[in-house]
Amino acid sequence: MTPDPNVSSIVPKSGCTAGSCGSKADQMAGMPEHIRRKVEDHPCYSEKAHHHYARMHVAVAPACNIQCHYCNRKYDCANESRPGVVSEVLTPEQAVKKTLAVAAAIPQMSVLGIAGPGDPLANPERTFATFRGIAEKMPDIKLCVSTNGLALPDHVEALAACNIDHVTITINCVDADVGAQIYPWIFWQGERVRGREAARILIERQQLGLEMLVARGILVKVNSVLIPGVNDQHLKEVSKVVKAKGAFLHNVMPLIAEAEHGTFYGLMAQRSPSAEELKDLQDACEGDMNMMRHCRQCRADAVGLLGEDRGAEFTLDKIADMQIDEAFLASAKAVRDATKRKITAALEEQQRRAETPAPQAVISFHRRKPSADEGRPVLMAVATKGGGLINEHFGHAREFLIYQVTATAAKLVGHRKTANYCSGGDTCGDEEDVLGNIIAALAGCEAVLCAKIGFEPWGRLEAAGIAPNGEHPMEPIEAALVAVWQEMRAAGKLRTPAPAQRCA
Ligand code: CLF
Ligand code: SF4
């Protein structure tokens, strides 16, 4: 099958163009208009969009047709969710009602995804009934699905008929010998198939499904779970193969294996990759493929911006009495449209500012030859609650975005989850040394930017060699990071080598 040239041509030849690796706005500049429209408000397919747009998942798909060694059936599909998380399974009718309620309350919501708790395409009636119900009531909401790929070729036509523009396939290998170490069995044509043959069939079906989707002009993201000692050496090859077949984006996610999750890998003490191993592999694949770095491995019933979970606000009992009629739908749509216009204007303004000529200090710095140390990239952490702004108090942050910053660009390279230091009340931190754990999580970073920060964390961060910075509240993240880099260089702080890198 021939890939749609419009899709494969937008996968960058190199992940880093013109030295501004993180700028997805630049990436979008070269995109065909119809592709740009597909990704500009999808929080997973566009790093820029993830600061502004929300997604929700509905857990309508309980069954699965394969077994992965990192999965325990008691929990959600670990191909897109953190293992150990359980979602309440909804009927398609309940799922449609919940989606209407969320889209009315969260006007930044642009995408409805089905990602579990089993495999959506192993539950085709429930999955497609949900998609049809939502498409009928809210045609402006993008529909998205994540699958292990075994049943995918059987459903490509139905996905296209539902106007589904975004499909994720979890592809952990393209070699059956590797696959046999990940998948003990699949359920195929009414029988349980085991071992290498199971992996061979699964890989064949995944690749066929990928080709069929690309031929239909559907954007494909490939998720891969990085399993040290099993597929870590192999994923670069996976990246090359799926790129050649026209996949749009590759998302390498770390294996999470804990004995208490009861998975095969958890029980046999298979280790997870370190943050540094994950980043190294993402960097290695980036030469060949457009890599996703902002995935939060969200749950099968996640609601909100990536990284936040507002699911508890929309349980079935809370939405049971909602009256949803034509007027309700029209007014929710009007609010969503207005929100999208606002976000688009804000992004255009950010882009305009980024394109204005660099200040004199930056120009003169580039004209004279900087020493290698002075020009080195710096890892910085950012506390944000969305909108692309530095707008979160240090003590309230539950995660920090990690950027690699140079003289002219800031590239998102990951995120680190932490407990929040001030959990309410008069006191911050506790005897478990929450602050110490946050500082440990920020190892390798040389600065942390936040809207505000208290005296105690300020002192301890400084003592740990991480410069606290509350001087850019409500400013756009990337511009503020570059400004801080310039300040550090001007102060001679970049003459010293970077601390031991333990990247996101
Ligand atoms: Fe959901 Fe997945 Fe669609 Fe996104 S999630 S079905 S593509 S709308 Fe996104 Fe969540 Fe990562 Fe998935 S952050 S786990 S990549
Ligand atoms: Fe579990 Fe998902 Fe794998 Fe099925 S595809 S076994 S639900 S991780």
Q: How does pLDDT run across 270-288, given as a tens digit for each residue?
A: 999 988 899 899 999 987 6
Instruction: Categorise residue 492: left if φ over 0, alpha if ψ from -120 to 50, beta otherwise.
Output: left
Name the most confidently modeled range: 41-55, 65-79, 307-321: 41-55
Q: Which atom of ligand 1 is nearest to the CA of 50?
A: 13
Mean of per-residue pLDDT scores for the chain: 85
- Does pLDDT of 5 surpass 50? no
381 in the same domain as 264: no
Instruction: Please work out whether the CB of residue 44 comes within 6 Å of at least one atom of ligand 1.
Output: yes
CB of 68 sitting under 6 A from ligand 2 = yes
Q: Which one has a higher pLDDT value, 239 or 415?
A: 239
Predicted pLDDT of residue 75: 74
Per-residue pLDDT, 8: 36
Q: Is pLDDT larger for residue 90 or for residue 493?
A: 90
pLDDT digits (tens, 9 = 90+) for 139-194: 999 999 999 999 999 999 999 999 999 999 999 999 999 999 999 999 999 999 99
Is residue 303 located within the same domain as residue 402? no
Protein residue whose Cα sits closest to atom 2 of ligand 1: 146
CATH number, domain at 299? Answer: 3.20.20.70
Predicted confidence at residue 325, as pLDDT, reads 85
Q: Are residues 97 and 159 in the same domain?
A: yes
* Same domain, yes or no: 308 and 400: no
| Pocket of ligand 1 contains residue 299 by CB under 6 Å | no
Residue 337 lies in a domain: no
The pLDDT-based confidence of 502 (bands split at 50, 70, 90) is: very low
Cα–Cα distance, 381 to 93 (Å, whole number): 42
Residue nearest to atom 5 of ligand 2 (CA): 148
Q: Residue 9: which pLDDT band, with cuts at 50, 70 and 90? A: very low
Distance 148 CA to ligand 1 centre (A): 14
* Atom of ligand 1 lying closest to residue 144 CA: 3
Q: Which residue has the higher pLDDT, 158 or 366?
A: 158
In short, whether 64's Cβ falls inside 6 Å of ligand 2 is yes
Q: Is residue 11 part of a domain?
A: no
Q: Which atom of ligand 1 lies nearest, measured to the CA of 81?
A: 14
Distance 389 CA to ligand 2 centre (A): 36
Q: Which atom of ligand 1 is nearest to the CA of 112?
A: 8
CA-nearest residue for atom 4, ligand 1, is 44
**Of 188, 136, 192, the residue nearest 163 (C-alpha):** 136
* Helices of type H across 384-454: 434-441
From 79-83, 166-170, 332-336, 452-456, the region with the lowest mean pLDDT:
79-83
DSSP E strands: which ranges in 52-199?
54-57, 66-67, 109-114, 142-147, 166-170, 185-188, 191-194
396-419 as b/e: b if 16+ CB within 10 A? bbbbbbbbbbbbbbbbbbbbbebe
Nearest C-alpha to atom 2 of ligand 2 is from which residue? Answer: 77
Nearest ligand to the CA of 292 is 1
72 lines ligand 2 (CB under 6 A): no
Cα of 279 to ligand 1 centre, how many Å? 19
Residues 306 and 398 in one domain: no
For residues 280 and 211, what is the distance between their CA atoms, to the nearest angstrom? Answer: 28
Length, in residues, of the chain: 504
Window from 128-137, 246-255, 381-390 with minimum mean pLDDT? 381-390
Decide if pLDDT at 374 tops 70: no
User: Six-digit token pair at 445?
Assistant: 């970073």
319, 336, 352: which is the final residue of a domain? 319
The token duo for 404 is 């690699």
Quick check: is 335 in a domain?
Answer: no
DSSP structure class, residue 500: P
Is residue 315 domain-shared with residue 449, that is, in the same domain? Answer: no
Q: Is the peptide bond before 117 cis (omega within 30 degrees of 0)?
A: yes
Q: 233: domain range?
A: 41-319
Residue type, 500: A
Whether residue 484 is contained in a domain is answered as yes
66 in ligand 2 pocket by Cβ < 6 Å?
Answer: yes
CA of 83 to the centre of ligand 2 (A): 10
What is the percent of the chain where pLDDT is above 70? 86
User: For ligand 2, what atom is nearest to the CA of residue 148?
Assistant: 5
Choose the final residue of a domain: 303, 319, 335: 319
Q: Are residues 157 and 234 in the same domain?
A: yes
Cα-Cα-Cα-Cα dihedral of 145, 111, 403, 7, to 10°? 60
For residue range 430-450, what is the model confidence (pLDDT) as tens digits? Answer: 546 888 889 988 988 999 999
Three-state DSSP string of 43-87:
CCCCHHHHCCCEEEECCCECCCCEECCCCCCCCCCCCCCCCCCCC
**Cα(203)–Cα(187) distance, integer angstroms:** 14
Q: Is residue 412 part of a domain?
A: yes
What percent of the chain lies above the pLDDT cut of 90?
57
Out of 62-66, 257-261, 465-469, pick the least confident.
Answer: 257-261
| DSSP state string for 231-280 | TTTTHHHHHHHHHHTT--EEEEEE----GGGT-HHHHTTPPPPPHHHHHH
Q: Confirm whether 199 is domain-assigned.
A: yes
What pLDDT score does 358 carry?
53
Residue 465 has pLDDT above 80, yes or no: yes
The residue among 96, 86, 140 whose CA lies nearest residue 118 is 86
Q: In angstroms, rounded to a whole number, what is the distance separating the alpha carbons of residues 390 and 379?
A: 16
pLDDT band at 67 (very low <50, low <70, confident <90, very high): very high
In a domain, 356, yes or no: no
Instruction: Please report the pLDDT score of residue 495 as a whole number.
Output: 80
Please tell me the total count of domains within the chain.
2
β-strand partners of 170: 223
| Over residues 237-252, mean pLDDT | 96
Q: How far is the CA of 48 from the centre of ligand 1 (A)?
A: 15
Does the pLDDT at position 119 exceed 60? Answer: yes
Helix (H) or strand (E) holding 417: strand 410-417
Distance separating the N- and C-terminal Cα atoms of the chain: 38
Determine if ligand 1 sits within 6 Å of the CB of residue 40. Answer: no
Distance of CA 463 to the CA centre of its chain: 32
Q: Dihedral angle at the C-alpha atoms of 50, 81, 89, 137, nearest 10 degrees?
A: 20
Ligand nearest to the CA of 78: 2
Ligand 2 atom at shortest distance from the alpha carbon of 79? 8
Tokens representing residue 491 in the block: 């102060």
Residue 82, by phi and psi: left (phi above 0), alpha (psi -120 to 50) or beta?
Answer: beta
pLDDT at 449: 95
User: In terms of domains, do 209 and 313 share one?
Assistant: yes
Packing angle of the helix pair 326-355, 477-490 (nearest 10 deg): 30
* 76 and 193 belong to one structural domain: yes
pLDDT in tens, 76-115: 777 776 665 767 899 999 999 999 999 999 999 999 999 9
If asked whether residues 89 and 215 sit together in one domain, one would say yes
Q: Is the minimum distance from the CB of 119 to ligand 2 under 6 angstroms?
A: yes
The DSSP element (H or E) to which 399 belongs, if any, is strand 399-405
Q: Is 20 in the pocket of ligand 2 (CB under 6 A)?
A: no
CA distances from 30 to 6, 193, 351, 452 (A): 11, 45, 15, 38
Ligand 1 center from residue 298 Cα (angstroms):
7
* Ligand 1 and 167: CB distance under 6 A: no
Residue 234 has pLDDT above 50, yes or no: yes
Please report, for the domain that includes residue 404, its CATH number. Answer: 3.30.420.130
Average pLDDT estimate for 346-369: 62
| 67 CB near ligand 2 (under 6 Å) | yes
- Which residue among 80, 223, 399 has the greatest number of ligand 1 atoms within 8 angstroms of its CB, and so is best to mutate? 80
Domain-located, residue 347 = no
Question: What is the distance between the alpha carbons of residues 244 and 250, in angstroms, rounded to a whole number?
Answer: 12
Q: Is the pLDDT of residue 126 over 50?
A: yes
380-420 pLDDT, tens digit each: 999 998 888 999 999 999 889 999 999 888 989 988 888 77
* Ligand 1, atom 11: closest residue by C-alpha: 295
Tell me: do 378 and 257 sit in the same domain: no
Q: Do 432 and 294 have their domain in common?
A: no
Please name the helix (run of DSSP H) or strand (run of DSSP E) that holds residue 225, with its range, or none. strand 219-226
